[in-house]
Amino acid sequence: MTVPFLDLAAQSAEIAAEVLPAWRRLFEAAQFVGGEEVASFEREFADFVGVAWAVGVANGTDALELAYRAVGVGAGDEVIVPANTFIATAEAASRIGAIPVPVDVDPEHLLIDPAAVEVAITDRTRAIVPVHLYGQVAPIEALEPLARAAGIPIVEDGAQSQGALRHGRAAGSLGTIAATSFYPGKNLGASGDGGAVTTDDEELARRVRVLANHGSEVKYRHEVVGVNSRLDPIHAVTLRAKLRRLRAWNALRQDAARRYAQLLADIPGVATPRSLDGNSDVWHLYVIRVADRDRVLAHLAAAGVAAALHYPEPWYSSAAYAHLGHRPGVCPIAERAAGEILSLPMFPHLTPEQQQLVADSLRSA
């Protein structure tokens, strides 16, 4: 037996009877862009998140860029981004000429540290971006007073947390505006790239829709220089089928997380993750910490267990961001964690037997 990091084929099998006939209908009607499936998914996803508006776009990075632009981030502005996130959170700011400013994370959950945000705010800051990392929700209530005092919007990056709750409120409904990704491996994944922006603010939703449609609300009248960023109907079909199952699939991930916690509890040198108080996490990733991580990773690979790193280094340490000139030590907690974290296989269809093999392999490592 081997254990994959993620079993997407199992998800496809579960939804095939709904998706394949709907795809055929789209194909026969030549409905390749826009249309009822996209509009329905946008309504259903807004309801799921608990906001008034959801705008489908081409991917999560575009969703972030368009959300940043909608709240007024532009060239030369600073955007506060946690050190431990996928590079896209920063990259979307860079694409519009803004400057991503790294802030450190808390040592236990590796979520954005509000105390670090407070220090990082300047008169050039135009957005604070809590990333709901690994299926958690960032401590938004500690950021709200800082954002309010400085008059800065909160842009949530909810790419890894569809369905997660903080004090009963869903990720994607907590900030001024939120971006999410439907990359196939996400908790809610499309059959290719996709993303969405969610907000309660009608004007912000309108701006995102205009920006995503070549800056145009009325055909061939262009208010601003926009982009072409669409959620395609074939993806809306998949997303609608998966959205109907998302609560159940997230519950299976929660069961799997509980099983891991039991199986790994007495393995020396393994620190298992715990939810932040007030959170109902959806375990996009199950990230443990171990000493001598690279040796453990190699041992798991040899045992047929696919593990991964999220992320091997903070985004500002990559060659892409050398020009910002951040030296090692800027975000020491994130930098140290990058050498210890290890993401174990986690997906709704993960079996107890597969988890046992992961635990046995870790113990022997």
Ligand X SMILES: Cc1ncc(COP(=O)(O)O)c(C=O)c1O
Among 160, 176, 279, 280, binds ligand X (CB under 6 A): 160
Stretch that binds ligand X, among 18-26, 156-164, 297-305, 325-333 (CB under 6 A): 156-164
User: Which residue's CB is nearer to ligand X, number 91 or number 360?
Assistant: 91
Among 15, 159, 211, 241, binds ligand X (CB under 6 A): 159
Measured CA to CA, the distance from residue 185 to residue 206 in angstroms comes to 29
CA distances from 349 to 10, 172, 275 (A): 7, 25, 21
The alpha carbons of the chain give a radius of gyration, in whole angstroms, of 20
CA distances from 362 to 259, 261, 267, 345 (A): 15, 13, 8, 12
- Binding residues for ligand X, rule CB under 6 A, total 15
Residue 157 touches ligand X, criterion: CB under 6 A: yes
Give min distance, CB of 306 to ligand X, in A.
18
- If we measure between CA atoms, which residue out of 327, 254, 354, 330 comes closest to residue 102? 330
User: Which residue's CB is nearer to ligand X, number 178 or number 305?
Assistant: 178
Among 53, 183, 283, 315, binds ligand X (CB under 6 A): 183
Give min distance, CB of 190 to ligand X, in A.
9
Residue 85 touches ligand X, criterion: CB under 6 A: yes
Among 106, 193, 232, 335, binds ligand X (CB under 6 A): 193
Stretch that binds ligand X, among 46-54, 142-150, 155-163, 256-264 (CB under 6 A): 155-163
Residue 131 touches ligand X, criterion: CB under 6 A: yes
For 37, the enclosing helix (H) or strand (E) is: helix 36-49
- The three-class DSSP label of residue 133 is helix
Give min distance, CB of 234 to ligand X, in A.
16
CB-closest chain residue to ligand X: 60
Question: Does the CA dihedral 324-330-333-339 come out positive or negative?
Answer: positive
Q: Please answer whether residues 247 and 188 qualify as being in contact, where contact means their C-beta atoms are separated by less than 8 angstroms.
A: no
DSSP-derived secondary structure for 234-275 = HHHHHHHHHHHHHHHHHHHHHHHHHHHHHHHTTSTTEEPP-P
Stretch that binds ligand X, among 53-61, 119-127, 230-238, 315-323 (CB under 6 A): 53-61
Q: DSSP secondary-structure letter at 229?
A: -
Residue ranges in contact with ligand X by CB under 6 A: 59-61, 85-86, 88-89, 131, 157, 159-160, 181, 183, 193, 195
